[in-house]
Structure 1
Amino acid sequence: MTEQNRTGQGRILVVGSVNVDLVLGVPRHPEPGETIAGTGSRRSPGGKGANQACAAARLGGDVRFAGRTGTGADADLALDLLRRAGADLTATTEVSDAETGLAVVTVDEAGENSIVIIAGANGSWTPQDIEELRAEVAASDLVVSQGEIPAAAVDQLSQLCAETGTRFLLNLAPVIDVAESTLAMADPLVVNESEGRLALTALTGSDAPDDDVATVRRLREAGVRSVVMTRGARGAILAADAEISEIGSPTVQAVDTTGAGDAFVGALALGLARGESAADACRRAARVGAFAVTRHGAQPSYPQQEDVLPG
């Protein structure tokens, strides 16, 4: 047991994507074939893996991030806020023949976004690369990954967690073709409404119900250890042990929803790694996600330890 574990802080390893976000402000999202005038643009760090690691680190977590970038200025920008948050980046590497991942994000006046992602170096992960993280996995209290790196890499990470007895949080966003054993290993599997239905169909081969609670229940029945379904302003649904509960979210005025789900996952990971109950960790995560939507951008919107959370 490490000194960090003995202090009850919890060590988190996040393995996932790192991008530069090109964010475009628009009055509304364009229709197919339509050209509209934007209201501004900015570039900032992003990527679901990096976002989740940054959210946990800014809240005071002991976080190591394993990611892949290209070389040059985009790599520096993509990792800038992670460095400032105090995340350990020694497991993050540069890929000389690939570009740093890119996300083009449009945000309308209501704060809703649409996103197109170019994987770049994020797509270069292999199972062999994951195997090299075995010692990092074994030393962690919680390992976190997402759907923005290849499925084979996520499957290998899940296998390492099984072999080392390390808890595995999988945010299946976007939904990729991971093995059934990977979904079964997730504790929790974190999905939004549409991702939850796709995951259930992948597991069972049958159509998912329209009802969110029924979808979560059937995911548990299909063998997933625990499930958290995020629902934006409506909070989340938690299925752990034999219980299903709804977690509320504070009411706030949203200006930009980009990265809010990642803020939730990062805060959830921190709570679980520190030994909080899943319900308590979800409640705080909902408050962190609500805080994030009141500010622009992904990582720049995440709270620090000293910030007052809504609700």
Structure 2
Amino acid sequence: MTTPQNGTGEGRILVVGSVNVDLVLAVPRHPEPGETLLGTGSRRSPGGKGANQACAAARLGGDVRFAGRTGTGPDADLALDLLRQAGADLSATTEVPDVETGLAVVTVDEAGENSIVILAGANGTWSPEHLEDLRGEVAASDLVVSQGEIPAPAVDQLARFCAESGTRFLLNLAPVIDVDERTLATADPLVVNESEGRLALAALTGAEAPDDDATTVQQLRRAGVSSVVMTRGAQGAIVSDEAATIDVSSPSVVAVDTTGAGDAFVGALALGLARGERLRHACRRAVRVGAFAVTRHGAQHSYPDVGDELPAS
């Protein structure tokens, strides 16, 4: 059942999550274990799943407030630069003294596929107590978004606030962390990729998840998750709610860098849901936004603005 909302009714989004600097290394291919490989380039840019998702929604015209935690110094400025340019409200973002801003080391091969290692830095300092200042903002929002790049107790507290206020909660369980079962039940939707979906199902049921993606999605819903979106890269997504379980296909594009594309999807999905769209309709636009993002380099740099033409489905 869709969660009742007590927000503004105008599409106000609160994103609570991670903010990083991405160190992106271009490589001809991903190295084998123990292998030294010569890279072909590098760059530093804003990242973090929370900041990425907030930036994607803001660039598409969303009313977005981002609550994150950074260290001090120039990395914090870089990490928040594109969010500021996109018009996101950063008044709930905090500098943490004596802690580094989160760092993600991303390697991208010539086919556009990436692998990522994350150092949490200030993102790891989130605690349930830090959420207290956001209780009112949760109640005033039409949608709250979070991810698995901040500690599970903070995500659990955020989910409790959403349940108490009747605010819809989108949880992107990436990476999979040990959140409470009630948090998964509050998620509407739970957004996962194929492997994350299987891990979430195993955590909920204690049983081995099936190989079939659609069956995994349906079993997640039977285990108590209100709605599920499973992203599948170029194959699009599986969407399941009380109405039906359907496939949403992705446009065919030539990918140059998949970094942050899933976050572009989530940001666009959040925007549609906050504005009152049905899950399947919001997902159809979100796959087009994700497809747009893979045709450009970087994470936030690759996201479309309001006037950009999205690939046709």
Shift of 1:92: 0.1
Q: Which residue of 1 aligns with 2:266?
A: 265
CA separation in 2, counterparts of 1:169 and 1:151?
15
TM-score (norm 1): 0.98
Contact 2:138–2:167 at 8 Å: present in 1 too?
A: yes
Distance (Å, rounded) in 2 between the aligned partners of 1:175 and 1:5: 31
- Deviations along 1:219-244, one digit per CA (max 9) or x if unpaired, are 00000000000000000000011410
Task: Give every structure 1 segment of 4 or more consecutive aligned residues whose post-TM-superposition deviation is greater than 6 Å.
Answer: none
Alignment of 1:1-311 (within 5 A): 5=8, 9-311=10-312
TM-score, normalised on structure 2?
0.97
Structure 2 letter corresponding to 1:170: L
Q: How many residues align?
A: 306
Shift of 1:132: 1.6
Counting aligned pairs with the same residue, the percent is 80
Counterparts of 2:180 and 2:269 in 1: how far apart (Å)? 24
Deviation sequence 1:114-160 (CA, Å, 0-9, x none)? 00000000000000001221011011000000000000000000000
Compute the RMSD of aligned alpha carbons: 0.8
Q: Residues 9-52 of structure 1, C-alpha deviation per residue, up to 9 Å, x if partnerless?
A: 30000000000000000000000000010000000000000000
Paired residue type of 1:121: A
Within 2, Cα distance between the matches of 1:46 and 1:302? 12
In the aligned structure 1, how far is the partner of 2:190 from the partner of 2:33? Answer: 34
Contact 1:131–1:160 (Cα < 8 Å) also in 2: no
Unaligned runs of 5+ in 1: none
How far apart are 1:97 and its partner, in Å?
A: 1.7
Once the two structures are superposed, residues 247-290 of structure 1 have per-residue CA deviations (whole angstroms, 9 ceiling, x without a partner) of: 00000000000000000000000000000111110000000000
Q: What is the CA-CA distance between 1:172 and the residue it aligns to?
A: 0.1
1:189-215 Cα deviation digits (max 9, x unpaired): 000000000000000000000000000
Asked if the contact 2:8/2:140 (under 8 Å) is kept, the reply is: no
